[in-house]
Structure 1
Amino acid sequence: MGGTNPDRGKTVSTVLGRRLGGELLRMRLQRKQGQAAAAKALTASATKVAKMERGLVPMRDPDIRALCHLYGERDETVIERLLELAAVDRDRRKAKGWWSQHPQLASLLEYVALEAVATHIRTWQHSLVPGLLQTPDYVRALATGAGFWDDPAAIDPFVESRIARQIRLEGEQPLHLSAVLHESVLRQHIGGRDVMKQQLSRLLDVAKQPNVTLQVVPYSAGAHPAMTNGFSILSFAEPGALDVVHMDTTLTAIWLEDEIDTPRHGRSFERLTELTLSPRDSAQLINASLKEL
C-alpha cells in the first residue's frame, strides 16, 4: 500500500470495498448464482467479479445496478445504500472524502469513511468516552497524555479533525448511536476536573438526542464478556447485511468482518446492555459524578 503506486486506487482492498463486495457476494449466493452469470450480466470476466467481491477494485454504479437486477434485488433503498457505499469507497481510494482534509485522521481513515455511511453504531468503551461524544478539551488531554507528539502545534489540528466527525450525529438523517460506557469512564480524570466537568455535561446533553442511547455499566455489575477490549459495531441499512466490528489497539486497528466474530461481538454487546443501568439511571449516575467534581 505504498504511496507511489499509480494503480493504488485500482488494486487495493479496503474495508469499504470488502464490505460492499461481501454484500454482493452474499446476494449472489442467496440467489444461487455463479460468477459466470454475474460476469455475463456485466459483460466482463469472472476474474473481475472475483475482484469486486474481494473489494480489490472500485465499483461502477451501472455494475452494481446490473448485479442487483440479476440477484432479484428490487428495493431501491437497499440499492441506493450500496451505491452510496461504492461512492464513499471511490472517494476513499482517491482521497476525496471530507476526511481527506484531515491528515491527522490517518489511523482512522477506514473507520471514519465507514462511519460516514453507517446507519447505526453500537460502541462499548471501558476506559474512554467514545470519539463521537468527546469534547475538544478531552481530545486534547488524550493527545497530550499519549506523548506521541513531537510538535505540540500539531495537536490542535488533530483535535479539530476528531471533532469534525461529530457532524454525523446531526442533520436530517443522523447516525443512530448506542453507546455503553463502564462507570470507570466517568471516574477517570482525563485532563483534570474542569475538563471532566465539561465532558460529563456533554454526555448529559447528547443523551437527550433522540438518535443517541447512552447507558452505563456500573462497578456493581462485576465480570462481563467484554472486559478486555472496547469495540464498535457498524451497521448498515441493507436487510441481512453483515455488520463490521472495529477495535483499536495501542499500535493499530483491528477489523472483524466474518460471519463468526462479528455476530459474536453483537452478542457481547447485547449481554452488556443487560448489565447496564437504564438510560435514565445512567444519566443520574453521570450527573452524580459531575456533582462530585
Structure 2
Amino acid sequence: MGNNPDRGRTITTVLGRRLGGELLQMREACGLRQMHAAEALTASVTKVAKIERGQVPMRDPDVRALCHLYGQSDEAVIGKLLALAKADRERRKAHGWWNQYPQLQAMVEYVALEDIATNIRTWQLAIVPGLLQTADYARALAVGNGHWEDPDEIEPFVESRMARQARLDGENPLELWAVVHEAALRQLVGGRDVMRAQLEHLLDLARRPNVKLQVLPYLAGAHPGMTSAFTIVSFTEPGALDVVHVDTASSTLWLESNTDADHHNGLFDRLTRLSLAQRNSVRLIDGILKEM
C-alpha cells in the first residue's frame, strides 16, 4: 500500500450525500427545479446543486426552508434531516486522531464516521471485528493480507486500530452489536497463542453493557449473510440515519439509501435470530478456547 499523507485529511461526504439525496427526492416529487430551491435559500443554483450532491454543509434554517418549500410538514421527517445535517457538520469540522495515521488509507472515511456514531451493528464472516481485535491479532492480519509494501507501516496501522477501540469506553460509549461466524473464531490467525489471547479478549468484552456479541455457528447451515460482511452505522436511534459499509477485496462501498439500509437491517435481524444468544455464544467461545 502506498503512503498518501493527504488521505487522512479527506472530508467525508457520506452523510452529506445522504442528506442531499433525500432533499433531491423531495424536490423532484413536488415537481420543482433547482432554481426554485435557490430562490427559497436566497442562493445560487450552483449552491443547490452542491447541496444535493453532498458537497457543502447545510444550516438548520436552510433545511427547514427547503422542507417548507417542498411541502414537508412532518416534524419526524424534518427532525431526521436536521439530525443528519448536524452530524454532517460535525464530521466536516472534525480534526480527528485518525489524521496522523496515513496507514488507515481507505478506512479513513469509515473511522471518521465511527467516531461520531452512537450505534454500530456488524456482521463478520471471516475475521473478528476491528473494534474487538487484540493488537497481536490485528498485526497478524496485516502481515497475512500481504498488502503492505513497507513493513514499517504495519505497526502504526495496528496502533490506529487500537485507538479506534477508545469509542467503547468513556461516558457515552459506542453501542456495538457484533455477529461473528464461528469460522472466524476457529481460524488460527497468528497461531494458537494469538488466538487464545483473542478469544479471552472477546470473553472480557462480552461482559460490557455496551457490547453485544453473538456467534453464528456452523450448525446454522445456509444463511443470508454468506455473500459478504457488512457494517451498519447509526448516528441517532437504531434505524435512523443509517449508512451501510461494505468492504470488498478491491473497494469500499457506502450504501446510503433507505432501501439499502432497510435491506441490511433486515439481513442483520435474520442473522441475529439464527445466531446463538449471547450467553450461549460465550459458552461456545469458551469451548473453542479450551480446545486450543
Pair in the same fold by TM > 0.5: yes
Between the aligned residues of both structures, percent identity stands at: 58
Aligned to 2:250: 251
Q: Distance in 2 between matches of 1:254 and 1:193?
A: 33
Give the unaligned 5+ runs of structure 1: none
Residues 53-91 of structure 1, C-alpha deviations (whole Å, 9 max, x = no match):
221224456645765787658789864663232221344
Q: Distance in 1 between matches of 2:166 and 2:86?
A: 22
Aligned to 2:108: 109
Match of 1:84 among 79, 82, 87: 87
Aligned to 2:120: 121
RMSD over aligned Cα atoms: 3.1
Letter in 2 for 1:84: A
Q: Distance in 2 between matches of 1:210 and 1:69?
A: 42
CA displacement at 1:181 relative to structure 2: 0.5
Q: Distance in 2 between matches of 1:89 and 1:57?
A: 9
Residues 75-116 of structure 1, C-alpha deviations (whole Å, 9 max, x = no match):
89864663232221344xxxx332111111111111111112
Contact 1:61 1:86 in 2 (8 A): no
Contact 1:13 1:55 in 2 (8 A): no
Q: Distance in 2 between matches of 1:181 and 1:86?
A: 33
CA displacement at 1:260 relative to structure 2: 2.9
Q: Distance in 1 between matches of 2:178 and 2:245?
A: 14
CA displacement at 1:273 relative to structure 2: 0.9
Contact 2:12 2:92 in 1 (8 A): no
Distance change (3 Å), C-alpha of 1:185 and 1:69: same
Aligned to 2:287: 288
Q: Distance in 1 between matches of 2:275 and 2:109?
A: 30
SS at structure 2 position matched to 1:44: coil
Letter in 1 for 2:178: A
SS at structure 1 position matched to 2:116: coil
Contact 2:120 2:234 in 1 (8 A): yes
Contact 2:38 2:45 in 1 (8 A): yes
Bigger CA drift: 64-73 or 103-112?
64-73
Residues 110-165 of structure 1, C-alpha deviations (whole Å, 9 max, x = no match):
11111122221111001000011111100000011112223222211110011111
TM-score normalised over the length of structure 2 = 0.84
Do structure 1's residue 14 and structure 2's residue 17 form an aligned pair? no
Aligned to 1:98: 97
Bigger CA drift: 238-247 or 97-106?
238-247
Give the unaligned 5+ runs of structure 2: none
CA displacement at 1:16 relative to structure 2: 3.2
TM-score normalised over the length of structure 1 = 0.83
SS at structure 1 position matched to 2:212: strand
Distance change (3 Å), C-alpha of 1:73 and 1:156: farther
Do structure 1's residue 233 and structure 2's residue 232 form an aligned pair? yes
Distance change (3 Å), C-alpha of 1:124 and 1:80: closer
**1:60-209 alignment, distance < 5 Å:** 63-64=62-63, 79=82, 82-91=85-94, 96-209=95-208
Contact 1:120 1:175 in 2 (8 A): yes
Letter in 2 for 1:222: G
Distance change (3 Å), C-alpha of 1:241 and 1:229: same
Q: Distance in 2 between matches of 1:238 and 1:30?
A: 28
Contact 1:123 1:232 in 2 (8 A): yes
Distance change (3 Å), C-alpha of 1:90 and 1:37: farther
SS at structure 2 position matched to 1:260: helix
SS at structure 1 position matched to 2:170: coil
SS at structure 2 position matched to 1:246: strand
Q: Distance in 2 between matches of 1:49 and 1:106?
A: 31
Contact 2:19 2:84 in 1 (8 A): no
Contact 1:13 1:54 in 2 (8 A): no
Contact 1:58 1:90 in 2 (8 A): no
Q: Distance in 1 between matches of 2:43 and 2:231?
A: 37
Distance change (3 Å), C-alpha of 1:55 and 1:109: same
Distance change (3 Å), C-alpha of 1:29 and 1:69: closer
